[in-house]
Structure 1
């Protein structure tokens, strides 16, 4: 089952996503150039440390682009509603379309999204049933990459042996301190914000509650776990194989669960 491409025309979202790409590109270029490669050449770190950084960087940008262009669960104009599930559908008062319960209308995108969690300007897309797993991967790998970058910034000055030869790039050598301070500042800001968001997302999955439902307090009974956490995570990631929860280079196969997930009247 191929994943449909979903593109949101929103200048504000483009700016936010462009800022994230800039931070990623900055660290992907300068951290290896200032820290990884010079210390690897002098034997202070192993090739494993270099490869791990690039793997984290690759998984981070892959999950970002996939979460940005993936269809979050946009409902078709004329949905085919099974007779046995009609009682679990309702009429949207904004677009006058039938939608399964726990769907919400995104005013920025202009359509309803199945099990919508929120609209995220940082990926310029809604976070819904079909791309929630990619958004979680993005949060996870962003934390890993930011933490790794901060550790390297710290070790460069306080743990690694001083470099014996000057960096061949004159610009990098002269502005090394400024470049690493900028990297550390951006790493702290992103790590702090993403860690809080990731924690909120995990708690939402554990309790089978979306961010919109938490803010609206529309369903008191969903504040309590109704399913084992393995089941809720498997439904989000589309597989029971836990190792695949960390792989962004795959297609999500929705598990056989009803559209509405649970009835909340």
Structure 2
């Protein structure tokens, strides 16, 4: 069963999501035209390389949309508190609602989120108990797509044989070098940023699991 839809009214967050979407769209449109299709036509790469790139691109944008619109674990009004868990709940001094411990109030979203990790402007949503796994998926698929893009950019210049023919009447081929430099720069930024974020998230999860085991033992 899918998570409830959750939208945050934040123009700054919309701009961040739009920026990520533009980067995704840029590489999804131009990398196949500049590298994949010409290389495939001359027999340098198999068709599986093209399909693999598009699959990675689809998984990346779908995970972005899901992480951006999924409910992170918003506390409902007048939540029912089990008698056995009352001691683990506390009052939020901002929204005057009872919330379980490890919940936090997000000033951008305007409500408390269960096990809130942080508010991420790049998805315009909080990362909490219900959508944390979707955020990790987004980090993973973004790394995959960015790494694949960097690999293709590198092979295009330093490994593959020169193309025998180019259609110089097409805009993308006239500006090939500049466009690939832009792609490479965006790939380095996205891959480096997402790799560090994914690492810190995984380390945080493993640390929390270890602390829970020590507490229960």
* Equivalent residues, number: 216
More helix by share: 2
Change (3 A) 1:40 1:188: same
The equivalent of 2:48 in structure 1 is: 48
Change (3 A) 1:67 1:169: farther
The equivalent of 2:112 in structure 1 is: 112
Deviations 1:121-172 (A, max 9, x none): 0000000011100100000111111110001001001111111111375211
> Which consecutive residues of structure 1, in runs of 5 or more, have no partner in the other structure?
210-223, 229-261
> Which consecutive residues of structure 2, in runs of 5 or more, have no partner in the other structure?
none
SS of equivalent to 1:207? helix
Change (3 A) 1:227 1:25: farther
Change (3 A) 1:51 1:227: farther
- Give me the whole-angstrom Cα distance separating, in 1, the residues matched to 2:105 and 2:168: 55
Alignment of 1:123-142 (within 5 A): 123-142=123-142
The equivalent of 2:4 in structure 1 is: 4
Alignment of 1:180-259 (within 5 A): 180-208=180-208, 224-227=210-213
1:189 is displaced (CA, Å) by 1.0
SS of equivalent to 2:90? strand
TM-score of the two chains, using structure 1 as the length reference? 0.79
1:2 is displaced (CA, Å) by 3.4
The equivalent of 2:31 in structure 1 is: 31
List structure 1 runs of 4+ shifted beyond 6 angstroms: none
- Give me the whole-angstrom Cα distance separating, in 2, the residues matched to 1:227 and 1:137: 25
SS of equivalent to 2:3? coil
- Give me the whole-angstrom Cα distance separating, in 1, the residues matched to 2:64 and 2:159: 32
